[in-house]
Copies of this chain bind each other. A is one copy, B any other.
Amino acid sequence: MGANVPAEDPDDTGHPALRGLPAVWLRANCPCGSCRDPRSGQRLVTITGLPADVTVTGVRASGAAVEVVFGPDGHRAVFDPRWLARYGGQAGEAGATPGGQDDGRTEDAKRLWAAADLGGEPPRGWWPRYLADPVHRSSCLSAVLAQGLVVLRDVPCEPGAVLAVARSLGYVRETNYGRLFEVRSEPVPANLAFTRLPIAPHTDNPYRDPVPTVQLLHCLRGAAGGGESTFADGFRAAAALRSQDPAAFVCLSSTPVTFTYADEATELRATGPMIGLDPRGRIRQIRFNERSLAPVRLPAAQARAFYAAYRAFAELISTREATVTAMLSSGDCVIVDNTRILHGRAGFTDSRGGGRRHLQGCYADLDGLASAVAVMARGHPGQPGQVDHTGEAGGAGS
């Protein structure tokens, strides 16, 4: 086997299952009961508690397992080669499980879409079936992870029902707006959401950090005229900007801007780039809300470049091609990934200024939603079913 071992890897141990795995990696991931708690699976050893000069002094096959002896202290580890193949491969390496090891929150794990890819409307599911059928529930929530949104139909038109939807996928994030907030036209609106004006595409609450990563909006009573909801994929728009205008992409991903909100009891501000990247440069979080963007503080030339980039991104977000629309009807509940999807609404055209329309909203978080999907997948290994994109009532899931 030694001939297969790259010479540049001095730690290589000569066993194929250990190939490319340094001694320190093997020792830090020893599964024995004194290195890892058998009940909780939590690691008991710390990096500073391990010998700084750890080496592998011996390797032998032990049935299906691989036993490793470490120097200088003689510690022994027994590894399952399947575990090594799953967790030891480098990300993206041939043979290593693609994805699945990280949290799936960057563009790499998403299905980016234009309106045509979704048939012009959001993925839809059906709340009674969602409650009764874990496969359908998993499909609906997987749509939020993959496409960034789903609309559930026939959620009971009862005040507070949106909290039950949130509770089905995680935990309600309480804010200064309460656990639950009302969206309807108000005589003296504290927020543009409560007027008859159109609302340009935006992410919610970029003036918070942590921002709520899931938004839910439940329609108790639809509008008489106008007020269609709009959705666009911010990851796709950012990726398009990167292709079309790389300098603009660099500007928006490297310039921290501040979003603010204030009322009598609250004064929130959060600072971050409009296009947030992970350390590898992958798109991970969109923050875009023109209403609450504070004045940018940049030298004049940089300010001009920023506004040009911001305009270019806003144009990509707002095209007809990028936008799916949905006229929310009573019982519809939208669930959106608020780190990715920009939502907005058309203005109201009825004489009462949209006053008839009544939504209730709340916030939750993506980590809990992904946990719910992962736990359901334990009982139903394999691919989750697909969510219906046709928008026909009762036709959801498969």
A residues touching B (Cβ–Cβ < 8 Å)? 8-9, 11-12, 20-22, 24-25, 28-29, 37, 39-48, 52, 87-91, 93, 96, 101-103, 105, 171-176, 188-192, 197, 200, 207-211, 213, 253-256, 258, 262-263, 265-273, 278-280, 290-301, 303-304, 307, 310-311, 314-315, 318, 365-368, 370-371, 374-375, 378
Contact = CB atoms under 8 A, between A and B. Distances in A.
A208 B96 CA distance: 24
B39 A103 contact: no
A271 B102 contact: yes
Contacts of A291: 42-44
Instruction: Kindly name the residue among A41, A176, A209, A374 whose own CB sees the greatest number of chain B CB atoms within 10 A.
Output: A209
A273 B102 CA distance: 12
Contacts of A207: 367
Nearest to A92: B297
21 contacts: A9-B300, A21-B300, A22-B300, A22-B307, A24-B307, A25-B296, A41-B262, A47-B310, A87-B295, A88-B295, A91-B298, A93-B297, A96-B297, A101-B258, A171-B175, A173-B173, A210-B210, A268-B370, A271-B278, A272-B279, A273-B279
Contact of A12 (B29, B47, B188, B300): B300
Given A300-B12, A307-B47, A253 B279 contact: yes
Contacts of A43: 290-293
A105 B209 contact: yes
Contact of A318 (B44, B48, B189, B213): B48
